[in-house]
A and B are shown apart, each in its own frame.
Chain A
Amino acid sequence: MTSTILEFRNVSFSRGPRLLLDRMSFGIEKQDMIALVGPNGVGKTTLLKLASRLLPPASGEILLDDRPLASWPRKQLPRAVALIPQELEIPFNFPVEEIVAQGRVPYQPLFGTSTPLDREAVADAMQAVDIVGLRHRVYSELSGGERQRVKIAIGLAQQPKLMLLDEPTQHLDIGRQIELIALLRQLNESGITILAAVHDLNLVAENFSSVIMLTPEPSWIAGPAAELMRPELLARAFSVGPSALGRYFVAPASGGVVQAW
């Protein structure tokens, strides 16, 4: 057994004529907390969908727990990997508790009803993200921050080893962003490996141990957050001048403000 939980080997993916991911290879260590950064449209969502088998790679191989992703049985995979999508719209007045309970579907046979184990997992998941008080509320009436927590609770009910999150801090005010990142760190400390697409670079530098940075060429760099969160690298990835970037982003390593001030 290695300590790698997710491994991309020469994975490529195209959308139409456009090559999004070009022979990407990287490994994610168990219990790591990794940020996926890069400009819009660069393929962050695609990468997360590849890692959860919602999309097949055009070439290359993805391994989960040293086992090709393609060989995982249909109901085993969601017990190991949970993807928290960017948007979740739910029709009808489904209450939060019934939404979170869907995370137990991978554990239930076709005719099965929920077991005490399922109900415990749902209760624990709601407890962990602090939405017990919302359990009878209608999902479609919740605020952005509340919805984000419900989505994470679905993922937790799956009891995964690896959680993939697509822009979990999007549409959240700064206070909710800080709370959400604290929640992710807490989940990470409890043993779940985290790979999250994040836009706010300041949040990344402060909270994530490693970074995978996608650039539009297409190209990518992966490494410790302190090494990758450097203005010249970020400026290149986001096609912006380093001085302009410096007004928004505070580099962590030097502890100082970047240039131009």
Chain B
Amino acid sequence: MPASKVGPTQLESRISSRTLNIVLLVALLLAILFATALGAVRLPVSEVLRTLLRPTRAGDAREIIFGLRLPRVVAAALVGAALSATGVLFQGLFRNPLADPFVLGTSGGAALGGAVGIFLIPTLSFAGFGATAVLAFCGSVLTMILVWYLARAGGRFAMETLLLAGFAIGTMLNAATVVFELHEEASNSGLRVLAAWLHGQLGIPTWSQIALLAPLVGIAILLALPLAGRLNTLALGEEYAAQLGISVGRVRMATVVLGSLLTAAAVSLGGLIGFVGLLVPHFLRILIGPNHVRLLPAAALGGATFLILADTFARTAFAPAEIPVGVFTAFLGGPAFLYLLNHRSRESRQ
């Protein structure tokens, strides 16, 4: 126990969630603006703003903004929002702050499913996704079900099993890439996608991909909002929630389906970007407390901003070289993960 801790924690003087959401929304808009301005060719923010407001204006700036930067910034926002929201959902469901889609292995499951789609059924596709997206979703759901049954003992979730399941899926994914490389008809583009997924490299999606994924992410998060209150009740335990008239099975199923949809959407844009779903909810819990009703929208907004900033850093800090954003989030998230792990095991030893 740190010696600096004096007296009991009083949670009265926290920021109101409305203030926080407004701040987060403004931060998100500013992040979009500045991230679009930054890059190999630095554009003045005023010009970005003018072009965004009047997209018909022709010019080099228009090509750079709409062809390269904005799609990637939007992709970062969608991935960040999806992963953070999924983190909140899974953490509520497993009653464990370590339950991040990367840590649980559902990101890996989605990537593995997507890889099967790219290599084995490459002909099936529409809007650049098709079979890949469906299989990514299936991979995510199956991983979640697997983790659920492996990790559950006596109505509680063993932390060891949660972590080991994520490790196992991650290893399987790595092994699968080797197998897919041997596949004689392995297309170069397919291998590139797989390599990018493994490293958590955000690509530049087409606008038709964004048109498909943006509503998907938005609707999934909106549908998850009524679940948030149920996750608060679930904090008392599954049996207690059942006693209070909650149909636990339905809440669990809806959480798994929505979380898997969001994970699949995130993976199809950026692959394995780890720890975002752990970092963002953790810091927001410190600011506004653990109530999922307040936490979920804030995590979606905060996650979008966080990943835009992280990806902008990853592609500009070492220009002209680019590091995958997944590498950067691992540098930040790894220590946070270890801190939470240590904190948790100390708690359970008391």
Contact = CB atoms under 8 A, between A and B. Distances in A.
Nearest to A102: B233
B59 interface: no
A54 B243 contact: yes
B11 A93 contact: yes
B97 A83 contact: no
Contacts of B235: 90-92, 94
B308 to A, nearest CB: 27
Interface in A197-214: none
Given A136-B10, A136-B12, A91 B240 contact: no
Contacts of B242: 54
A88 B234 CA distance: 12
Nearest to B95: A91
A92 B247 contact: no
B285 interface: yes
Interface string B276-297: 0000000001000111000000
Contacts of B161: none
B8 A99 contact: no
A105 to B, nearest CB: 5
Given A90-B235, A93-B290, A102-B233, A78 B9 contact: no
Given A85-B239, A90-B236, A93-B285, A111 B226 contact: yes
A89 B285 contact: no
Given A91-B97, A106-B244, A136 B11 contact: yes
B8 A137 contact: yes
A92 B236 contact: no
Interface-centre pick from A52, A90, A102 (highest chain B CB count, 10 A): A102
Interface-centre pick from A54, A136, A158 (highest chain B CB count, 10 A): A136
A228 interface: no
Given A110-B226, A136-B11, A137-B9, A74 B289 contact: no
A260 B235 CA distance: 51
Contact of B10 (A83, A88, A98, A137): A137
9 contacts: A52-B243, A77-B245, A88-B237, A94-B232, A106-B245, A110-B226, A136-B12, A137-B10, A138-B11
